Chains A and B, each alone.
Chain A
Amino acid sequence: MSERPTAAELAEAILEFLGGEILPTVTDRRLRFRTLVAMNALSIVYRELEKLPPEDDAAQRALAARIRAGDVPPGALAEVKRDVAERLRIASPRYLETYAEAASE
């Protein structure tokens, strides 16, 4: 399943934040060095993620287009809900716990 921002795009955003907003405020020499090291490590993560092939979202696009046309496949809601729950387990795992129903899924 494709998802924006991609992990690479998120890493890039954090790099920009660290370099643009945090680093200029760090005056302690040791902390400044460690921040640069952390940014370097994050840039490794970024480049590694960037090399990954883009995920195939053809099935998502097809389903989205079908629903837009008013042709909702039977069982679509349950299927989409499973997909969204899957995404939430990455993006915001504790959110699912706020639904009593999801606790047992």
Chain B
Amino acid sequence: MIAEMREVLQSVLGTALDGEPHLLAGGASKEAWAVDAGGERLLVRRAAVGVIHRHTLSLADEYGVLEAAHGAGVKVPRPIAYIPDLDGREAFVMERLDGETIGRRIVRMEGVPPQLPTQMADELARIHAIPRDRVPFLHEARLERMVEEFDEVGEPHPAVELGLWWLREHRPPPREPVVVHGDYRIGNLVVRAGDGLVGVLDWEFAHVDEPVRDLAFSLVRAWRFGVPEKRLGGIGDAEPYVERYNELTGFDVRADEVDYWEVAGNVGWAIGCLTQMQRHLSGRDRSVELAVLGRLGAEVEYEILHLLEQKGVT
């Protein structure tokens, strides 16, 4: 397989590979191969075998989003080539950025770069300014979709119901939908000690949506990687991040809107845990990791109730 991959890559890149491609760890739905060619450090993102995801982009569309983001000046790995058939599966090649990508390690970095929270706001403001006509294949998402996914699981979860009820009762006036990353959190960034944020990764959930939903996603407690007292992804306070975002976009996002979408992010992830569990129980994708998420969702449910309590629900 490596030989075939080598051949296709060399013809696409128009240069010989330096050494063998090697498979990097992690990624259940996509493979990541490190490849060096023509003195450049590259990463090949390739579909994994047998994984079918609803509500995620094909690699062709993900590559299109990456190109649009790059064109809009968002810090992303430079897109290099889309390959419809790389040894039987679709793939694309991009620059391989140097830096830390594991959330748990980023929050524990020797002196998390102090500029990281404002850099996160800078990049998000650029993402939200990507013209929709540059990515016409992206769909608009509705908050209601998570209710449908929840109902498909069919298990009673009063904590999730309370979260959904509160979201129905307190929905802020809608904002003009924008292009969103869809999974904007510490674990999807490349961070370097001196430079801070050098790249935004994992665009497979990109869609068109409420901007504040995207803004508040990085506040979800599950993505604070064991540093819960720092509301912004375990690395800092939310206020400087939101303030900077407001300065750049002029959106004038209010604190209660951020709170609302933080609850929504938690409810979405509580439901996400159940749908992942369902992949296992249905036999589609048998795995202990997916199974155990069904139980760990209780952590997210507890957080939903904690947030609602702070909002005065009894």
Mark A residues whose CB is within 8 Å of B: 2-5, 9-10, 13-14, 16-17, 57, 60-61, 63-65, 67-68, 70, 72, 74-78, 80-81, 83-85, 87-88, 90-92, 95-96, 98-99, 101
Contacts and interface: CB of A to CB of B under 8 A. Distances in A.
B279 to A, nearest CB: 12
B176 interface: no
B171 interface: no
Nearest to B293: A5
Interface of B: 155-159, 161-162, 164-165, 168, 228, 277, 280-281, 286-288, 291-292, 294-296, 298-299, 301-302, 305-306, 308-309, 313-314
Given A4-B281, A5-B277, A60-B158, A74 B314 contact: yes
A68 B156 CA distance: 11
Given A5-B281, A77-B305, A80-B159, A91 B295 contact: yes
Contacts of A70: 165, 168
A71 to B, nearest CB: 9
A91 B302 CA distance: 12
B296 A80 contact: no
Nearest to B312: A77
23 contacts: A3-B294, A4-B155, A4-B294, A5-B277, A10-B288, A13-B286, A60-B156, A60-B157, A60-B158, A61-B156, A67-B161, A68-B164, A77-B162, A78-B314, A80-B162, A81-B306, A84-B298, A85-B302, A87-B295, A88-B299, A90-B295, A95-B299, A95-B302
